[in-house]
């Protein structure tokens, strides 16, 4: 491992990170399917077990906390019912600060319930507020962002209402003050994320934003270049699934990284691992190239495990090897 990367990893325990975005509760109901219902042509699932996990921005923060950062806090909105209580409990268990999580009686906690029978997903049930974020909550979110004392900020947008133009304006003020803001985009209009340090779209999202296919290194480089110029960002980290990732930094040659996974069992949450690792190391002083190589190595580890896995700093040191 290079000395600069080792030094950045050593600084993680003193790093302060904020994750701004849409919080979700992922519920899993596991069961067995033995017959079809006589009431309708649907499977009958006999429930064997249930589990709740952090989803959305919560899983990004969970990945950051697993790296051993000194302080990880979430900025988001949840409801006041039992689902909101469960989400906050899971955050507390993961040692993620919830003092900047707004609880509101008029908003539903976003819950995605997956029912699985015999290992196969039978149906997914979504519960969420179907209305825009009220202006009073948007203003509260802006005030919370303005008050953040963070070394680096991640925007984890799932288009559920937290990430809006006023909130991004507040985040751009942080960027102007020297705090790197790294955005994982979801909304089709990428201009929302303009003038930040970095955006980390996947190939499908980037291709849709630029109306172009991203199916080769050359096309990835071209699309990333157009995005970086149009959005006036310092860098673009384009994740490309089995084709690895492409990093484009202002003033540097493009960096194409092949995936490091030899076996793939589950890609769930790999993007969250990438952005958490990349942003943490950027905040700790690593170069974008070193941060991207480490994030690529981290992704190669977590997709070899079932479920939404995370990686520790020790695991990352082992995965990176000599860089």
Q: How many CB atoms lie within 10 A of CB 195?
A: 16
The residues, ordered by sequence, that sit 6+ positions from 10 with a Cβ below 8 Å of its Cβ are none
Q: Which own/partner pairs from 176-181 qualify as long-range (CB within 8 Å, at least 24 positions apart)?
A: 179/148, 179/150, 179/151, 179/152, 179/153, 180/152, 180/153, 180/279, 180/282, 180/283, 181/152, 181/153, 181/154, 181/155
Maximum C-alpha span of the chain: 66
Do residues 79 and 109 lie in contact, with contact meaning Cβ atoms separated by under 8 Å?
Answer: yes
Q: Which tokens in the block code for residue 21?
A: 């975005």
Q: Mutual orientation of helices 217-231 and 203-210 as an angle, nearest 10°?
A: 60
245 DSSP β-pair partners = 239, 257
Task: Tell me whether residue 272 is one of the annotated catalytic residues.
Answer: yes
Do residues 261 and 273 lie in contact, with contact meaning Cβ atoms separated by under 8 Å?
Answer: no
DSSP string, 55-80: EEHHHHHHHHHHTT-SEEEEEEEE-S
Q: Which tokens in the block code for residue 318?
A: 């082992």
Q: Please state, in angstroms and rounded to a whole number, the distance separating the CA atoms of residues 165 and 162.
A: 10
Q: 291: closest CA among 253, 255, 262, 251?
A: 255
Query: Active site residue: 22, 157, 184, 272, which one?
Result: 272
Do residues 108 and 125 lie in contact, with contact meaning Cβ atoms separated by under 8 Å?
Answer: no
Residues belonging to the active site:
272
């Amino acid at each position: 491992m290079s000395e600069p990367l080792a030094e950045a990893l050593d600084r993680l325990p003193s790093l302060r990170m904020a994750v701004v975005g849409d919080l979700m509760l992922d519920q899993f109901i596991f069961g067995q399917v033995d017959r079809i219902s006589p009431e309708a042509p649907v499977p009958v699932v006999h429930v064997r077990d249930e589990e709740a996990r952090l989803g959305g921005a919560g899983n990004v923060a969970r990945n950051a906390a697993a790296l051993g950062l000194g302080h990880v806090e979430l900025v988001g909105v949840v409801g006041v019912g039992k689902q909101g209580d469960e989400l906050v409990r899971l955050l507390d268990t993961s040692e993620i600060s919830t003092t900047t999580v707004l609880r509101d009686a008029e908003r539903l906690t976003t819950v995605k319930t997956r029912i699985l029978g015999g290992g196969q997903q039978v149906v997914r049930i979504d519960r969420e507020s179907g209305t825009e974020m009220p202006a009073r909550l948007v203003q509260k979110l802006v005030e919370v962002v303005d008050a953040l004392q963070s070394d680096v900020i991640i925007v984890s947008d799932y288009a559920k209402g937290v990430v809006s133009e006023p909130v991004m304006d507040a985040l751009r003020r942080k960027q102007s003050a020297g705090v790197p803001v790294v955005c994982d985009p979801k909304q089709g209009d990428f201009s929302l994320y303009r003038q930040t340090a970095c955006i980390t779209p996947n190939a499908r999202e980037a291709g849709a934003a630029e109306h172009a296919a991203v199916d080769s290194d050359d096309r990835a480089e071209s699309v990333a270049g157009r995005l970086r110029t149009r959005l006036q960002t310092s860098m673009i980290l384009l994740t490309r699934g089995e084709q690895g990732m492409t990093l484009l930094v202002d003033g540097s040659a493009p960096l194409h990284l092949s995936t490091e996974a030899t076996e793939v069992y589950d890609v769930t949450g790999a993007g969250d691992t990438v952005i958490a690792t990349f942003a943490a190391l950027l905040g700790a002083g690593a170069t974008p190239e070193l941060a991207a190589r480490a994030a690529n190595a981290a992704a190669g580890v977590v997709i070899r495990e079932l479920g939404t896995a995370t990686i520790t700093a020790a695991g990352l040191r082992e995965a990176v090897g000599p860089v």
